[in-house]
Amino acid sequence: MWLYSILILTICSQYVTAQFGTFPQDFGYVNIREGAHMFYWLFYTTADVENYTQRPLVVWLQGGPGGSSTGIGNFEILGPLDLTLQERNHTWVKNFNVIFLDNPVGTGFSYVEDPRFLTKTNDEIALDFVELMRGFYNRHPEFRGVELYIYGQSYGGKMAVDMALRMREAEQAGTIQSNLKGIAMGNAWIHPVDATLTWAPLLLAAGLIDQAGYNDIQTAAREAERLFNEGLYVESTAQWANTQQAVFRSTTSVDFYNILTKMHVPWNPDTRTAYEISRDMMIRNGPYFSNSSYTRQGEVNLYDLMNNEVKEALGIPSHVTWGSLSNAVFDTLREDFMKPVTEGIEKLLAQENPIIVTKYNGNLDLICDTPGQILWVDRLNWHGAEGYKNAPRNPIWEDNRLEGYYKSYGSFRFFWINDAGHSVPRDNPYGTRAFLRDMTSYG
Provide the annotated active-site residues: 154, 365, 422
Give CA torsion, residues 198, 204, 207, 208, to 10 deg.
70
Task: Kindly give the pairing relationship between strand 412-417 and strand 356-362.
Answer: parallel
Nearest CA-CA partner of 40 in 53, 30, 48, 50 = 30
Task: Kindly give the pairing relationship between strand 57-61 and strand 97-102.
Answer: parallel
The Cα 58–Cα 172 span in angstroms is 21
Nearest CA-CA partner of 98 in 138, 61, 51 = 61
Query: For residues 215 and 390, is the Cβ–Cβ distance under 8 A?
Result: no
User: For the packed helices 342-350 and 155-173, what is the interaxial angle rounded to 10 degrees?
Assistant: 40
Residue 205 DSSP one-character state: H
The Cα 366–Cα 285 span in angstroms is 12
* 383: exposed, middle or buried (Cβ count in 10 Å: 0-12, 13-18, 19+): exposed
Angle at 238 between CA 237 and CA 243, to 5 degrees: 95
3-state helix, strand, coil in the chain (%, to 5): 45, 15, 40
